[in-house]
Amino acid sequence: MAAADPVVHVRPGDRTEADPTPGIVREQAIGVEGLWAGVAHTAASATSAWPHHGNYETAIYVASGRLRMESGVGGRDVIEAVAGDFLHVPAGAIHRESNPDDDESQLVVVRAGHGPPTINVEGPA
């Protein structure tokens, strides 16, 4: 990238489905060296499998709906987030997301790091 490079406009129809984890639909908007950005949709009452994001630090903004995040030993650390909340998922943190709401939740996800952005595993430590 150079100072003369133009700004890129990514419309909803330009996003591509990426990094599948059962229970979550992720759409990549931006994928460049060191940065991944997109959205994630979780259906009403759905629960995801257990992923981690390798060497990526992840910031999540709850755009609409609710997010229940389980992490830590045995998945015992639980955060209940609502629209307007941010969460930080440290690199390598195994977690599971669920949507306890009656409507789909929508998250804005931004990751900084390198390597594969999503690694699905059997469960928490």
Token pair for 51: 């992923």
Which SS3 state, helix, strand or coil, does residue 75 take?
Answer: helix
Instruction: Provide CB contacts within 8 A for 87, sequence distance 6+.
Output: 59, 60, 62, 67, 69, 79, 81
pLDDT digits (tens, 9 = 90+) for 36-81: 999 999 999 999 999 999 999 999 999 999 999 999 999 999 999 9
Instruction: Express each pLDDT in 89-117 by its tens digit.
Output: 999 999 999 999 999 999 999 999 999 99
**CA–CA dist 112, 11 (Å, integer):** 21
How many angstroms separate the Cα of 76 from the Cα of each of 9, 43, 51? 40, 23, 15
What pLDDT score does 2 carry?
A: 80
